[in-house]
Structure 1
Amino acid sequence: MLRIRTLSPLLQVALLLVASVIGPARAQQSPQQTVIQVENVRTEYARVLRAQPVYQTLRATAMVEVCEDGVPAADGEEKSRLARVVGAVKDALTPGKDAEEDATTVQPREGCQLVPTEREFQRPIAYDVDYVHHGVKYRSRMPYDPGDRLRVRVSITPIVSGGP
């Protein structure tokens, strides 16, 4: 008999479940004893043929200052924009100013106007992976790029027919 104390708790529960199912069935069957193994499992490696990223597209709208010549304001002017925002906040906080003025709006320079510009960003959210294992091609969607090899779980379970 097996010494149950030396087995892991998970294995103990599995053995008890199998014994509770097989016990009553064995009492009703013929004197022959039949034990069915649940499954044979091992891990192997498959060769990756292709890993194609699946992208999520994000859209964002930003206000860009466009001047009369049609060119957006240069990046070097970023400091002057910041200075204008700080100045607008200071003006809004000083007493005697009109309370209805909005301190967060930035007024464009003379000859320029603020235009909403939509931008798109793409980021990979998954990978469609094509791989070969023992000459058979498979495809799976994975959360990461597996590289050249993919570890796969191989499970073999016999099909048991109804009678001998």
Structure 2
Amino acid sequence: MIGARMVSAAAVAALVPSMALADSRYQYAEVLASDPIYETVSYSVPVEQCRLEDVPYREDRGHRSATGPIVGAIIGGALGNAVGHKKRNKQVGTAVGAILGGSIGADIARRQRERDGYVRYTTREVCDTTYEERYEEQVTGYRVTYRYAGETYRTTLDRDPGASLRVRVNVTPVG
């Protein structure tokens, strides 16, 4: 039994070198036809469209008055003074009330100026970008018919091979 296994292993080892001796080489085949393969592909193109528009804006009348902040400071100071009970509290209340009242008065005066301003229009260019879908036919490959050793073959390639095509020929002994 041990002898039989050794013979089998020897037979396998004898086959490996013969497979390693298989011949592979390159030859050229004649190209009979090379037809492009077309595919429709889509892509997006940005398109900018511009137009002139009348855009409103408010124009300040230009006069600014200190009346709003002053009146606010007076009213705020009076309220702050009225809230305090002791002399020191009345002084602090008056100062804080005057500051807050002046700020509130300034805000009210600013809003009033904006409201009293008048609307004017100016022409400006306004642009929007949209995308258009476009399509085109592109060659994505070639169906190639070629002849080698009297036989005709077909394949698909990513480029046109020209008049001849390089092929790999493998020769392996049988038997």
Q: Output the TM-score relative to the length of structure 2.
A: 0.44
Which structure dedicates a bigger proportion of its chain to strand?
Answer: 2
Which structure dedicates a bigger proportion of its chain to helix?
Answer: 2
Q: Output the TM-score relative to the length of structure 1.
A: 0.47
